[in-house]
Amino acid sequence: MATLVGFIFVLVILLIIFEMLRRRHLREKYAVIWIIIGIGVLVLVAFPQLLFWSSGVLGVKVPSNLLFAMAIVLLVSVCLHLSFEQSQAEDEVRVLAEEVGILRLKVLQLEESLTQDGTAAGNGTHPGTVPPEPTP
């Protein structure tokens, strides 16, 4: 009964992941990680003797301890990856903010120079434009 519940739970999680991917709520690079994790858990649910065998090979006395250790390593890896992604995004945002600030300053300087040139010429036209010829 526990195997059936675990199997249904993992299938529901995988369906949620696929639905989030279909609706574009989850990016592909993150969906791949979660699909691999889901398939791994599905294999462990289908073949629980793999956990007993691997705990014996690794020298872990209680197989559930190996499962918890693998889960902790997985969670730490995901947190580390997300921290890396967040750091990159913060750097990109900082660079973009600096570029926007520089562009705004250049626009203000251009507007100011156009205003000064227009009033210095006295005719209100922008520099580089030819004033209209008078009509007889």
How far is Cα 15 from Cα 48, in angstroms, rounded to an integer? Answer: 22
Q: What pTM did the predictor assign?
A: 0.65
pLDDT band at 93 (very low <50, low <70, confident <90, very high): very high
How far is Cα 24 from Cα 4, in angstroms, rounded to an integer? Answer: 30
How far is Cα 45 from Cα 6, in angstroms, rounded to an integer? Answer: 6
pLDDT tens sequence across 31-86: 888 899 899 989 988 898 999 999 999 999 999 999 999 999 999 998 999 999 99
